[in-house]
Structures are given as C-alpha cells and as structure tokens.
Amino acid sequence: MGKGVDISSLGLKCGLEIHQQLDTGKLFCRCPCIIHEGEPDFQVTRYLRASAGETGEVDAAAAAEQIKAKRFRYHGYHDTCCLVELDEEPPSPLNPAALDATLQVAKLVNAEILDEVHVMRKTVVDGSNTSGFQRTALVALGGKLLEEPVRIQTICLEEDACKIIERKASEDVYNLSRLGIPLAEIATEPDITSPEQAQRVAAEIGMLLRSTGKCKRGLGTIRQDLNVSITEGARVEIKGAQDLKLVPDWVRNEALRQHGLVQIKKELKKRAITEILLPAPHDVSKFFDKAAPFVTSGIKKGASLVGIALPGFEGLLGTELFPDYRLGTELAGYAKAFGFGGIIHSDEKLAKYKFTSAAIASARKALKAKKGDAFILLLGDKTRIEEFFAFVLIPRLEQLLHGVPGEVRKANPDGTTRYLRPMPGAARMYPETDIRRVHVDQAKIVVPKLLKDQEAALVKKYKINAAHAKELLHDGWPFDEYVKEFPQLSPVFVATTLLDTPKELKKRYGKDVDLIGREKELKEILAKVNEGLVPKDAVIELLAHLADGKRIDFSKYKAVDTKEIEKVVKAVIKADPKAPVNALMGEAMKRLRGKASGKQVMELLKKHT
C-alpha cells in the first residue's frame, strides 16, 4: 500500500519532543551525571503497580504495563547511585544549574518563562523509574525557532529514566545510574509538514541546546520523540529516536503505516465486517508434533501452540502497509510487547515453519476457521496467550474498524517502529509534594551566544579553521579549558588531536576510539606531551593502545635524544639509499614509533641525503 504514495498528499503533521541530557549533576540529588556499565556494585528487585492520579483515574498506559506482571531488577553503582534513585530517601531541591541551562534555552526562543517552577509526578509503570513516576517541571510556554517556521509548545526540565539492559518475558533489567540525570525537554507544535523538515527542526533545537555549553556529550545524550499524524489517522508518539539521520525515515514510515491502516479500514468496510466476533481460542499443539525445531522443542518443554480464527480476514494479515511491513508485522509487535516472540499467521508461507498441509487443515478445523477466514497462532504459556487474545489482540482488531489508534511506539534502528503501549492521558499527572516550588528571577538569566556565533569567536581567538570550530562545538568539547590546561600545546594541535587523530587512527589501523568516553586517558596523554615527556607524534600510537583496551605505558614512548634519532635515520638511508625522501621518512618514523617528531626526522633526512 505504501509504494508510490506521495507523503505530501497525506496531510502529514509532526511535532518533536527533544530530550537533552545536561551535565550539571543529577536533578534531585548530588550524584554525578555518569552512566556506568559492567558489573554492578549492588542489585535491587522491585514490582510496581499502577495507582490513581490526581483525577482519581488509573492511566491507561500504566494499567497496560501492570497487566504484564513483570519483575524489575536494577543494577546500581555506589559512586553514581544513592537512596534517592532507589526511592528510599526524599529528593533534594531542584538542581539550580540544570534549571539555569533550561531557562537559557527558553530565552533563546523567546518563550514565556513562568514566574514559579512547580515539579509534577508523571506515572510510569514500565520499571524505568523505581518510584513508579517521573518528576518533571514546566519551565516555559510558547516561543518559536529562529530558522524554521515552527512554534514551541512547552519547555520542561525532567529527570532521565533508568537505562534498559535486558528485556525478558517475566523480568526487565535496568541500569540505575542514568536515573535522575537532568533532561531539558523542548516540545514543538505540530507545525512540521515533511520528513525532511523534521530532521532540520531536530538539528536546530540541538544547536540551541548545545549553545548553553551545559549539555552531556556522546551517543544517547540527546533523544527525539516524534509525534506524527495524517489527515485520516491519529497522533502516534515515537519514542527514543536517537539517530538524527533516521528521523526522516521514522516520520515517513509512520505516515505510510497510518495510511495503510486507513486502507485496511476501508477494505473491512468493503467486506461488510462491522464488528469483531471471534471464536474461542484453541490449543492446537497436538497437530504440530512435526514442525520447526523451535515449535516442537517449545511444546516438549510445556509450552502450548494456541490459535484463534479471524473471520473474513483472509489476505489482510499479509497486506503491506509500507515496504516490508505488513498487518501481520503490526500485530506481531503487540505480541512482542506482551512478552511473546511474535505470531504465526495464515497469510505467511507456513512451509517455512515445516507445517504439513494435514496439520494446517486440522488446526483450521479445530479453530473453526472457514473459507475466507485467517488465523493466528502463538507459542507460549496457554493462560498468557488467552490473556493476550482477550486484552490486547481483540481490542486491536476492533480498532482496525476505526482506522489508526493513538499509541506510543518505539523507534527501531532500521527506520521502522514497534508498539510499546497505549497513549497516556491526563490521569498520569499529579503534584510532587516533596519538592518546594522555585521562584524564577528572569533578570538573572544570561542569554548564551548561539553556536554559530561561538564558532566565529573560536576561529578568531585561536586561529583554528572554521570546520574544526564547528565540530568542536557540535561535539561539546570544552576547548577553552583544554587550551588553558595545556598551555605548551598550540590550539591547532589540540583541535587536531581531538577531531582528526581518531579519524587517522581509523584510516591507518582500522581502529576506533571514543575520546569523549576516554577523556581521562586523553588528558593524561596530552599532559605528557605538554610537559615534553612524550613527542607529539606518539599521540596516535598511544590512542591505538586505548582503542585496544590496553593500559598505556608512557615509558615506551619517551622521547629519544638527537643522536639516537640520527642513528636510526642513517640506518634507514643505508638500507635503501635510492628510496625517495617520503619513503625514508615513513620507514624512520615506523622504527622510532612516535619517539621523535616528524619535523626533527625530516631535518636529519635532508641533512644526510
């Protein structure tokens, strides 16, 4: 259905919610904003339940999560997690530095800043918050972007959630160290009308946030949530869109998915299907004693293959909503969100599961599937499957009669999305009573220079090129601090080390090194070069050791004296006296392995050739 569809004809509307981590210390305690990986110092297990919000109602999204009856396990680290993250101690006052950074962004877009900031609780029962809610504060309203004709809706300051480590059918495992890191959140009005504009808007908001100089750096520190709808569709929120390059794909595919669901609705009307009346599910395990290994082994271990007939749905489950994404894929996403591996349905090529024709015929008869009907099979616990059919599948099929349901979906790394949970409502919000309101003195808000103005200032001050200045600010390098900390190194050398040396390392040795993640070791290297204990040309060799995960032994790269360098140069010339100077240079540098500067080696080569 999605092939050849003109996106501009669908009435696309899109709004963005940008979440940027701030490097100011955590929002409600004084732990640092460091996300640990690896073996935890301690683990905690919790169960969460949905509770009524300020309206007295239980939020639909929270209720849907509670049905899953999951256990949540948290990995904690003593130096970045405290009793606040564990929800065993009241929160500290709102971090003033994080609030200041958020207020600066509000000033940049001419938003209306509130006189007082009140913290609210937002119910979250997916385990990503140990308390069962996320703390968030509204800071400003309105405003507009400087480059794109897009209005700002709200600017908030909230705490980040735990980082997911592993999802299982009965348990989710989270990293507790990310919980509480401040997030500046900017939400736009749905003024975006094309996938490409969504990408430009996300880039501009990222630029505004980085202009404050208080943002965390690296992959995963900024995330986009996309709110997408079409004329005949509904608002769908796409969570966790981290890769800016994929934003157009997520928006485009969501518009096509909604268009495809609208066509399914029209097809159901043509087939005169006005209500969903399904026969009872049935265990058909006994018909599939010969099938794909995952089916037969699952049944032997006690799982059941349970099916349900879908009257009048023949051919619909295989209908393509957009390239390589079918209605069956859509329903499989709901099954996965409920803890299953997916679904098997009758519009697939069932031969790939090694199902025999006789087994399929017996299953269709047991399920009361007539000609023109489809069927779905699930493998797992029989009771859980029946709960999925009753509470998730049948309501989802009923929604097909009305078109597109509003819901929350997860961004996949291939540009598609998968179902997460129902769209939350107002019932999830209620006041935070443990934190005092904060009065805002607007006269004290310092408006930062825009990133492009900061770029020009760096070029003028340090005589570095414009491309380096732009990349330094985009990546969030505190360049002024580096130049001040290593005064014997030229700004050009420092910029080249931060930006170009990792690329050269990749080109020369095929190795990657994350300098932002290894900043401590990077500063150790620069300090040795600054003190003259290690030559500049040794930096790439030292970074190669970092990329290999090895401990740096600076003694191996101690600068050698001129006599030793001259000895190596003479040996290289003697070995191949007719070689060009550049070849001799390469061989000499290879033998010296960073223990001498290239300038010094070249001078000696010219002297002796």
CA 37 to chain centre: 16
Average pLDDT for 124-133: 89
Query: Is the model's pLDDT at 201 over the cut of 60?
Result: yes
**157 in the same domain as 30:** yes
**224 in the same domain as 356:** no
- Predicted confidence at residue 574, as pLDDT, reads 80
**Residue 303 forms part of a structural domain:** yes
Average pLDDT for 133-140: 96
- Predicted confidence at residue 42, as pLDDT, reads 96
**Residue 50 forms part of a structural domain:** yes
- Predicted confidence at residue 121, as pLDDT, reads 93
**125 in the same domain as 148:** yes
**168 in the same domain as 45:** yes
What is the distance between the terminal CA atoms of the chain, rounded to a whole angstrom? 72
Average pLDDT for 66-84: 88
**243 in the same domain as 151:** yes
**Residue 415 forms part of a structural domain:** no
Q: CA-CA distance, 608 to 140, in Å (whole number)? A: 70
Q: How many CB atoms lie within 10 A of CB 324?
A: 11
Domain end marker among 400, 419, 454? 400
Query: Is the model's pLDDT at 111 over the cut of 70?
Result: yes
**154 in the same domain as 247:** yes
pLDDT tens profile 570-602: 888 888 887 888 888 778 777 776 666 677 777
**Residue 421 forms part of a structural domain:** no
- Predicted confidence at residue 556, as pLDDT, reads 75
Coil/strand/helix, residue 515: coil
Lowest mean pLDDT among 51-65, 226-240, 323-337, 477-491: 51-65
Share above pLDDT 90 across residues of the chain, in percent, rounded to a whole number: 73
The residue type of 486 is F
pLDDT tens profile 268-282: 999 999 999 999 999
Share above pLDDT 70 across residues of the chain, in percent, rounded to a whole number: 94
- Predicted confidence at residue 537, as pLDDT, reads 80
**282 in the same domain as 257:** no
What ranges make up the beta strands (E) of 110-193?
A: 112-113, 116-117, 119-123, 133-141, 152-159, 163-167, 171-175, 182-188
CATH number at 376 reads 3.30.1360.30
Contact 22, 33 (CB under 8 A): yes
**What is the phi/psi pair of residue 169, to 5°?**
-60, -40
For residue 102, give every residue at least 6 positions away whose Cβ sits within 8 Å of its Cβ, in sequence order, or none: 22, 139, 140, 155, 156, 157, 184
pLDDT tens profile 352-376: 999 999 999 999 999 999 999 999 9
**Residue 416 forms part of a structural domain:** no
**330 in the same domain as 236:** no
Coil/strand/helix, residue 585: helix
**Residue 409 forms part of a structural domain:** no
- Predicted confidence at residue 31, as pLDDT, reads 96
pLDDT band at 401 (very low <50, low <70, confident <90, very high): very high
- Predicted confidence at residue 462, as pLDDT, reads 96
Query: Is the model's pLDDT at 68 over the cut of 70?
Result: no
**Residue 124 forms part of a structural domain:** yes
312: left (phi over 0), alpha (psi -120 to 50) or beta: left
Contact 74, 443 (CB under 8 A): no
Higher-pLDDT residue of 58, 20: 20
Q: CA-CA distance, 565 to 596, in Å (whole number)? A: 7
Number of domains in the chain: 3
CA 519 to chain centre: 22
pLDDT tens profile 338-349: 889 999 999 999
Q: CA-CA distance, 223 to 440, in Å (whole number)? A: 27
**208 in the same domain as 315:** no
**190 in the same domain as 304:** no
pTM of the model: 0.81
* Residues spanned by the domain of 320: 275-400
**Residue 543 forms part of a structural domain:** no
- Predicted confidence at residue 445, as pLDDT, reads 94
- Predicted confidence at residue 67, as pLDDT, reads 60
pLDDT tens profile 470-501: 999 988 899 999 999 999 999 999 999 999 99
**81 in the same domain as 206:** yes
The first and second tokens of residue 260, run together, are 């495809």
Closest C-alpha to 125, from 91, 85, 161, 175: 161
Closest C-alpha to 541, from 550, 468, 533: 550
pLDDT tens profile 408-462: 999 999 999 999 988 877 667 888 989 999 999 999 999 999 998 999 999 999 9
pLDDT tens profile 37-53: 889 999 999 987 666 65
Contact 417, 238 (CB under 8 A): yes
The mean pLDDT of the chain is: 91
The first and second tokens of residue 400, run together, are 């097909």
Query: Is the model's pLDDT at 60 over the cut of 70?
Result: no
Coil/strand/helix, residue 501: helix
pLDDT tens profile 502-535: 999 999 889 998 898 889 999 999 998 998 888 8
**280 in the same domain as 253:** no
State the DSSP code for 94.
Answer: P
pLDDT tens profile 89-100: 999 999 999 999
Average pLDDT for 318-323: 94
